[in-house]
Amino acid sequence: MSNIYRIALLAALLLTQKLFAQVKVPANQIAYSPVQRCATDEAIQKRYLTDPAFRALMDERTREYRQAIDDGVSPLTNRNNILTGPITIPVVVHVVLPNPWMITDNDVQYFIDRMNLDFSGLNPDSTNCGSFCNIRGHSLIRFTLAKRDMNGNFTTGIERLVGTTTIGASEPQGVKNAATPSGGLAAWDVTNYYNLWVAVGSGGLLGIAPEIGTGTATNDGVCVDYRAFTNSCIANPSFNLSRTAVHEVGHNFGLHHTFQSGCSNGDFAQLTSANCSLPAGLLAAIDNTPPQSASTSGCPAVGTANGCTPSEPKNYQNYMDYTNDACYSMFTTSQVQRMEWLLENCRPGYLTTLGGQYPAGMPALDAKAAIIVSPGGNDFDEGTCTTVAYPIPACTGSFTPRVRVTNGGITTLTSITVTTTINGTNTQVQNIATSIATGRSVVLALNSQVAVPGANLLTITLSAPNSGADAIPADNTISTTFTIAVPGSLPYAQDFVSAAFPPPGITVVNNDGAISWSRNTNGNGNAGSAYINLFDYSVQNQVDDMVMNVSGVNPGDTAILSFDVSYRPYTAALTSTFFDTLSVLYSPDCGVTTTASTYKKWGAALGTVPASSSAYTAPTVWRRDTAYIRSAGNVMRVIIRCTNRYGNNLYLDNINLAKKSPHIYRFTGNGNWNLGANWSEGIIPPSTLPNGDMILIDPLPGGECVLNVSQTVSSAGSIIVVTGKQFRIPGNLQIL
């Protein structure tokens, strides 16, 4: 495990970000090495350098802080002492990920449970406090998932959105803005709800908190990287106990890092918000939080000197240091005092909010159709730790509809009747046994439906929960429309000049819901191309397809697929694992089975320009590549497949798919006409040979071809026997 990066100044942060841009690490490694534990200090420093008003405020508060040290005032006279028992704050968790369901309901509940254990000081590992047990604090702050929304209606307290917006090292965060094109979710009322966002941390960032204070709609609540949010299969093993969230929420409730000002004990430096000023009585003179000369990485040995007083051990167990999650275990009593003061004085809405209580008149039975998962959606398999994609059928065929059902009633759902239709027909009714607790959801797999070429309307309706009446029937029905490409005919040509993408005749299959094929305005001799951003696509081995379905072919027909390609290998691809791959496959049965063509290129063989560690953003050199495809039916399905290995950007242009004419069927074996092994490429001629095609009889030396079936050759077709070869016809040969 690499050492955790600790960055104290904005300049250092910017340097680190530059290094991240130069040294690519695959996604299965980037979650773990290297990471930036927290960017709160850097965000404050950046604002200090760029915002004169904020800088003046911080300077004023620093003077107040230093005066309080000189005065040595007592904190007790400045506590409101409102808290007579635990205060439970409703939390809204906003998840913005390419597949937001990889953060499960169980994951979110684990986070809530961890927050309550750690803030209360009742965490099982609290005894790991060493010599600091006498100052270990027990906060009265508690957390629960929101149970009623801002309109007073029931909510699970979890919002999920398919998006690619990342968490940055400064505020404001795009992930907090619903207008962000790559995906964002707006905060709920910050006076009554605590908001937390889960997304991908940019450059290995694990978490960040905004400035301390009462909060605004665009600057409140913390952000946590999904790999540090909970204890699940996707978590970084060093940060898998939800304690990044504990750390960041600590910031939002008034705490600085324990190493904030080194040995001068800056943990209790003045708050930096104009609307929440800490009184002098809660400043550094009375703080019992041990100062740290520097942050702590990993899990140090017990008794490690703190660097300020060498004879004293480090309080590396403190949640506001930078140790691994397993080595955290405590807040100090002074930290608890400060957080509770901030709750009482800066966030008074939390003392009276009803957001954590179920709405009045909560129904007994309410089954909610939350989202259609299949077709066109994603789920997450916790057992295999993989995203499960349910793509829209690429051609006509059956599929299994799936719907996520949420329990909005107070009674556990044990059975539901589900009705499905496709285009208003083929009604399927089934009663499904299940078990869904209040506020939880499950995905139900339903009876198969058959999609048709063109537009399809799938409608799913829930009824009779637990064989009773649903209290809110308005949320029982959900629909989705999807389109299956009508098979085109050969020849097919596409230059991607039109702004529409995918263009007619092409279907994009994006299995993980993340980066996939899109349109770029740089083409080969025109203003368009198909493009996939492999430079930023850190999740390795993901497959993204462009699919073409064409009719007007016969079994055994050969098609030629040609296209222009431009690609720059990533430097490391020449010596390591960054081998982006482009291949061509075909399928006779709508993707149930696929066969690889002879075209497959990667690394230097795929490249058209020399390798480089910089992103390939302007394709300059193109190459014309060709693949041959053999049809096994009357519809030919051709797949252009990109397999991501986190290399560099790939461009395709001027795709052409045409039937090769004439087609020659070659008998090269011995004996039975109707045996695939006797024919070149295993393709037996159709019983009626199409116009222009040819059958060539060329058996093994000393062998023969035996026509033991009926064969018709059209007037414009031909059958030729190689000189000296044997052709015996016990069957029926008809030449028109």
The encoded tokens of residue 139 equal: 């906060």
Residue-level pLDDT at 632: 54
Residue-level pLDDT at 485: 72
Residue-level pLDDT at 658: 83
Q: Are strands 710-713 and 732-735 parallel, antiparallel or unpaired?
A: parallel
Average pLDDT on 306-329 reads: 89
Q: Is the dihedral of CA 407, 410, 415, 419 positive or negative?
A: negative
DSSP H helical ranges for 417-486: none
Q: Which of 203-207, 540-544, 575-579 has the lowest mean pLDDT?
A: 575-579
How far is Cα 583 from Cα 658, in angstroms, rounded to an integer? 18
- φ/ψ region of 385 (left if φ > 0, alpha if ψ in -120 to 50, else beta) reads left
Residue 319 exposure: Cα atoms within 13 Å on the Cβ side: 32
Beta strand segments in 202-241, E: 207-208, 222-225
How far is Cα 540 from Cα 646, in angstroms, rounded to an integer? 6
- DSSP letters along 652-687, please? EEEEEEEE-SS-EEEE-SSEETT-GGGBGGG-PPPS
* Predicted confidence (pLDDT) at residue 396 exceeds the cutoff of 80: no
Nearest-CA neighbor of 91 among 159, 168, 146, 32?
A: 146
The encoded tokens of residue 379 equal: 């789920």
Nearest-CA neighbor of 367 among 448, 424, 432, 425?
A: 432
Residue-level pLDDT at 167: 92
Segment 685-728, tens digit of pLDDT: 888 887 778 899 999 999 999 999 999 988 778 899 998 999 99
Q: Of how many residues is the chain composed?
A: 736
Residue-level pLDDT at 710: 92
Catalytic residue among 42, 159, 211, 248: 248
Q: Is 144 exposed, middle or buried (0-12, 13-18, 19+ CB in 10 A)?
A: middle
The encoded tokens of residue 10 equal: 């904005």
Segment 565-585, tens digit of pLDDT: 999 998 865 555 678 999 998
Main-chain phi, psi angles of 682, to 5 degrees: 75, 15
Q: From the CB of residue 7, how many other CB atoms can be counted at a distance below 10 Å? A: 21
Helix (H, G, I), strand (E, B) or coil at 416: strand
Stated as kind and residue range, the H or E segment containing 55 is: helix 52-71
* Predicted confidence (pLDDT) at residue 454 exceeds the cutoff of 70: yes
The CA R_g of the chain, rounded to the nearest whole Å, is 32
How far is Cα 24 from Cα 27, in angstroms, rounded to an integer? 9
The encoded tokens of residue 329 equal: 């275990």
Q: Are 479 and 451 in contact (CB under 8 A)?
A: no
Q: Are 585 and 577 in contact (CB under 8 A)?
A: no
Nearest-CA neighbor of 693 among 735, 666, 662, 659?
A: 662
Residue-level pLDDT at 692: 74
* Predicted confidence (pLDDT) at residue 31 exceeds the cutoff of 50: no
Specify the amino acid at residue 652: L
* Predicted confidence (pLDDT) at residue 358 exceeds the cutoff of 60: yes
Helix (H, G, I), strand (E, B) or coil at 283: coil
Q: How confident is the model at residue 1 (pLDDT cuts 50, 70, 90)?
A: very low
Average pLDDT on 189-200 reads: 94
How far is Cα 161 from Cα 255, in angstroms, rounded to an integer? 30
* Predicted confidence (pLDDT) at residue 289 exceeds the cutoff of 90: no
The encoded tokens of residue 703 equal: 């062998």
Mean of all residue pLDDT scores within the chain: 84
Residue-level pLDDT at 572: 65
Residue-level pLDDT at 36: 77
The encoded tokens of residue 209 equal: 């908190």
- DSSP letters along 330-375, please? B-BHHHHHHHHHHHHHH-THHHH--TTSPPTT--S--EEEEEEEET
Residue-level pLDDT at 398: 83
* Predicted confidence (pLDDT) at residue 386 exceeds the cutoff of 90: no
Residue-level pLDDT at 258: 87
Average pLDDT on 340-352 reads: 87
Q: From the CB of residue 313, how many other CB atoms can be counted at a distance below 10 Å? A: 19
User: Across the strands, what pairs with 694?
Assistant: 664, 718
Main-chain phi, psi angles of 516, to 5 degrees: -155, -170
Stated as kind and residue range, the H or E segment containing 19 is: helix 10-22
How far is Cα 378 from Cα 542, in angstroms, rounded to an integer? 14
Q: From the CB of residue 84, how many other CB atoms can be counted at a distance below 10 Å? A: 7
Average pLDDT on 646-662 reads: 87
Main-chain phi, psi angles of 418, to 5 degrees: -125, 130
Helix (H, G, I), strand (E, B) or coil at 307: coil
User: Distance of alpha carbon 374 from its chain centroid, rounded?
Assistant: 17
How far is Cα 322 from Cα 37, in angstroms, rounded to an integer? 7
Residue 325 exposure: Cα atoms within 13 Å on the Cβ side: 24
Residue-level pLDDT at 372: 96
Residue-level pLDDT at 265: 60
Please indicate whether residue 211 is annotated as part of the active site. Answer: no
Residue-level pLDDT at 51: 74
* Predicted confidence (pLDDT) at residue 41 exceeds the cutoff of 80: no
Residue-level pLDDT at 497: 94
Helix (H, G, I), strand (E, B) or coil at 106: helix
Average pLDDT on 417-434 reads: 96
Residue-level pLDDT at 460: 98
Q: Are 178 and 184 in contact (CB under 8 A)?
A: yes
Residue-level pLDDT at 24: 44
* Predicted confidence (pLDDT) at residue 96 exceeds the cutoff of 90: yes
Residue-level pLDDT at 66: 61
* Predicted confidence (pLDDT) at residue 132 exceeds the cutoff of 60: yes
Nearest-CA neighbor of 537 among 522, 563, 517?
A: 517
Q: Cα dist. 629→640, 659, 663 in Å?
A: 12, 9, 12
Cis peptide bond prior to 491, omega within 30° of 0: yes
Measured at the CA of 51, the angle between CA 48 and CA 55, to 5 degrees, comes to 50
* Predicted confidence (pLDDT) at residue 651 exceeds the cutoff of 60: yes
* Predicted confidence (pLDDT) at residue 270 exceeds the cutoff of 80: no
* Predicted confidence (pLDDT) at residue 9 exceeds the cutoff of 60: no
Q: How confident is the model at residue 554 (pLDDT cuts 50, 70, 90)?
A: low
How far is Cα 445 from Cα 458, in angstroms, rounded to an integer? 14
User: Across the strands, what pairs with 208?
Assistant: 223
pLDDT top residue among 13 and 206: 206
Q: Are 480 and 458 in contact (CB under 8 A)?
A: yes
Segment 505-514, tens digit of pLDDT: 888 888 777 7
Is the full-model pTM beyond 0.75?
A: no
Percent of the chain with pLDDT over 90: 49
**Going by C-beta distance under 8 Å and a sequence separation of 6 or more, which residues neighbour residue 336?**
137, 138, 139
Segment 102-118, tens digit of pLDDT: 999 999 999 999 999 99
The encoded tokens of residue 198 equal: 């889960």
Q: Is 12 exposed, middle or buried (0-12, 13-18, 19+ CB in 10 A)?
A: middle
Q: How confident is the model at residue 3 (pLDDT cuts 50, 70, 90)?
A: very low
Any idea what DSSP says for residue 401? -
pLDDT top residue among 204 and 395: 204
Q: Which of 7-11, 85-89, 323-327, 530-534 has the lowest mean pLDDT?
A: 7-11
